[in-house]
Structure 1
Amino acid sequence: MQGIMTGKDILHKMKAKAGFGSSSSDTGKGKSKMSKHITHGYQLIKGKSNHDMEDYIVAQFKKVQDNELGLFAIFDGHSGHDVADYLQSHLFDNILNEPDFWTDTESAIRRAYFVTDSTILEKAVDLGRGGSTAVTAILINGQKLFVANVGDSRAVICKNGEAIQLSVDHEPSMEKKSIESRGGFVSNLPGDVPRVDGQLAVARAFGDKSLKRHLSSEPHVTVEMIDDDTEFAIFASDGLWKVMTNQEAVDSIKHIKDALPAAKHLAEEAVNKKSKDDISCIVVKFH
């Protein structure tokens, strides 16, 4: 017998249609209305852990005034998924509501990251003490791409067959001095990777109230012009990058014409390579 659809089910369907995703397996696609040749596809696959899916994505084209924005993001939650869910719903709105978004986009992104993180910390009673990494991309009129990130979710573009990383993996070992200057420490124990205060394997993240004195939420921001040599972009959580290099990811999909099959192929390749983490992947094709 068919069950009754709850409000949560309806919201999930609405989000999926709009290009928001997170479940055991979510997939979708879309295309630019301004530049018909620009398309996107996404795939999420839940990992083998016992906790709920903690990856969230945004992938949509949005008309703002006389401009079209491509909004793409990967949010990889940890110690719970509420912070990542909050980011999915609020971060882009906060960026676009910055008064100087159109005149100084990079500063607007940096300020919105700070404001959003501050709000998450204030709402820790409701959202919990967990956190999330993020990689966000704003494509303006199909020509100019602003990429920002905190943590180890990654953005890679392909130009003439070559993989170019636009984000920075914020690893604790790379930021050890700044972490120690704030009173924290970096340790490989327990476990086998460097962690802030022996707990978190990234040096920058949203939330994580208990570690915030020793963490940063300052994003790395890159601006990339989309030209005739730019073939496609990949945005993905570390569930993909733990088992594939940038060039391997690019090489595995460069002969796949459509964005959605490309995103599906990448996620499935990560599973085949024994990734146990949640995997979320967006592919944006420019030609």
Structure 2
Amino acid sequence: LNEEKTFRRFLELFLREMKMPLQESDPLPMRPLSDLVSEDEVEGECLDLCLQHLYKYNCPCSLAAALARATADSMLQTDLSVHHLSKTVEDGAEPFPLKLARLVFNRLFEMCCLWLKELPFHRRPQPYYETSIHAIKNMRRKMEDKHVIIPDFNTLFNIQDQEEQAFFAVFDGHGGVDAAIYAANHLHVNLVHQESFNHDPGEALYRAFKLTDERFVKKASRENLRCGTTGVVTFLRGRTLYVAWLGDSQVILVRRGQVVELMKPHKPDREDEKQRIEALGGCVIWFGTWRVNGSLSVSRAIGDSEHKPYICGDADHSIFPLDGSEDYLILACDGFWDTVSPDEAVRVVSDHLQENSGDTTMVAHKLVASARDAGSSDNITVIVVFLRDPRSPPPTKMLTLKSVRAYL
């Protein structure tokens, strides 16, 4: 009941704040990345606009997910052809104009009005992973990192028959932020729509990366964009952790205070990557750092169409069963890992938790500051996902039958 009260209170305040519905001449509360949205981008763009807008007003996370889902479903059932641009686009996918954003905000407003009268949504009582996030532009001219946090994945995609799921990602753009924004808006949507999603999330992640890359390359040629992005994604389903990545953004797992390596970043000087690039007729040259064809310092990415196939869009992925002894995950871009080692990161986190009796709020700020103090001038994004309550002592090792036998 308390939760329902909170939700109603939010809806009342939100509707009071919003000057709605938006007329043609009204400015948008938020500018979407692109004025051109193709059919396959509607769901991702719509979810993102709703979530960002609702979070600006401190909407409770599960309510935001449910409202974004309901708004997106309503948009997907609407005939949007009346909003098409008259000019057709070469590859057959016809983009919609900017009007989409105005439609989305007005539809979200209608949803909120309906839900205030009768709230159809009750959150399933499931615990969330506590997270700490911090991202800074640092010394760079522009911020080209994007991150995604979906603690309540099942609500956002209206998934009824699956265990608890959560999705966290960091995308580090280069040559512009468009590829990173695109990946942040669409990769999780592409993941859910994979046939293999229910029975093989690892495979589904691999395919989602590939599809996101293919679609962004098309968009880039339509809109004349020259940029790319690395990405690291962690997807939690029940007691299993799935990791997928492209390029040099990384995630580590900390278990009982020790670092567990989950992945190896894709850099051009990695022997297997170097061989793959050379076999395609490319080269890896030292130019302040090892670079593909003397240009990019990562060997895999979403986008970068002018560097394909040397810079490929094939993600690697791995699977880790969790047993409850895991402390947390740290996802971050290379602006962090280039100056802070995994062991150093763990020291920063444990010092912070000790000094603040387990309070996680500022953990990511501490990590970002330590990378900056160590000389990082790059954009820095850090997400810490706590897999158990840091305020309680770590679980004691369970005596298994096997270990008892060994002991006897």
Corresponding residue number in structure 1 for 2:331: 235
Shift of the alpha carbon at 1:163?
A: 1.1
Corresponding residue number in structure 2 for 1:251: 347
Shift of the alpha carbon at 1:228?
A: 2.5
Q: Which of 121, 142, 145 is the aligned partner of 1:55? A: 145
Letter in structure 2 aligned against 1:45: I
Shift of the alpha carbon at 1:68?
A: 2.4
**Alignment partner of 2:313: what SS?**
coil
Corresponding residue number in structure 2 for 1:188: 286
Corresponding residue number in structure 1 for 2:251: 155
Cα distance change, pair 111–55 in 1 and its aligned pair in 2 (3 A): same
Kept after mapping to 2: 8 A contact 1:82/1:127: no
**Equivalent-residue separation in structure 2 for 1:271 and 1:5 (angstroms):** 37
Q: Which of 171, 177, 197 is the aligned partner of 2:275? A: 177
Say if 2:180 is the partner of 1:84: yes
Shift of the alpha carbon at 1:173?
A: 1.1
**Alignment partner of 1:172: what SS?**
coil
Cα distance change, pair 102–158 in 1 and its aligned pair in 2 (3 A): same
**Equivalent-residue separation in structure 2 for 1:109 and 1:60 (angstroms):** 15
**Equivalent-residue separation in structure 2 for 1:176 and 1:139 (angstroms):** 32
**Equivalent-residue separation in structure 1 for 2:277 and 2:213 (angstroms):** 18
Corresponding residue number in structure 2 for 1:139: 236
Normalized per residue, the structure richer in strand is 1
Q: Which of 264, 270, 281 is the aligned partner of 2:371? A: 270
Q: Percent identity?
A: 31
**Aligned-pair RMSD on alpha carbons?**
2.2
Shift of the alpha carbon at 1:114?
A: 1.1
Kept after mapping to 2: 8 A contact 1:60/1:70: yes
Normalised by the size of structure 2, how large is the TM-score? 0.62
Say if 2:130 is the partner of 1:39: yes
Kept after mapping to 2: 8 A contact 1:95/1:108: yes
Letter in structure 1 aligned against 2:339: V
**Alignment partner of 1:145: what SS?**
strand
Corresponding residue number in structure 2 for 1:282: 383
**Equivalent-residue separation in structure 2 for 1:171 and 1:184 (angstroms):** 14
**Alignment partner of 1:90: what SS?**
helix
* Structure 2 gap segments, 5+ residues each: 1-25, 33-48, 65-123, 389-408
> Greater shift after overlay, 233-242 or 125-134?
125-134
Corresponding residue number in structure 2 for 1:24: none
Shift of the alpha carbon at 1:260?
A: 3.0
Corresponding residue number in structure 2 for 1:129: 226
Shift of the alpha carbon at 1:13?
A: 4.1
Kept after mapping to 2: 8 A contact 1:59/1:73: yes
**Alignment partner of 2:361: what SS?**
helix
Letter in structure 1 aligned against 2:280: R
Q: Which of 165, 169, 181 is the aligned partner of 1:69? A: 165
Letter in structure 2 aligned against 1:126: E
Shift of the alpha carbon at 1:214?
A: 1.2
Kept after mapping to 2: 8 A contact 1:151/1:202: yes
Letter in structure 1 aligned against 2:148: V
The superposition leaves residues 214-246 of structure 1 with CA deviations (integer Å, 9 ceiling, x where unpaired) of 122211111112223211110000111011001
Number of matched pairs: 268
Q: Which has the higher contact order (CA 8 A, sep 6+)?
A: 1
Corresponding residue number in structure 1 for 2:196: 100
Cα distance change, pair 5–248 in 1 and its aligned pair in 2 (3 A): farther
Shift of the alpha carbon at 1:15?
A: 5.9
Kept after mapping to 1: 8 A contact 2:202/2:243: no
**Equivalent-residue separation in structure 2 for 1:49 and 1:88 (angstroms):** 21
Letter in structure 2 aligned against 1:241: W
Normalised by the size of structure 1, how large is the TM-score? 0.87
Cα distance change, pair 127–232 in 1 and its aligned pair in 2 (3 A): farther
Q: Which of 5, 8, 30 is the aligned partner of 1:8? A: 30
**Equivalent-residue separation in structure 1 for 2:289 and 2:313 (angstroms):** 21
Cα distance change, pair 113–272 in 1 and its aligned pair in 2 (3 A): same
Corresponding residue number in structure 2 for 1:207: 303
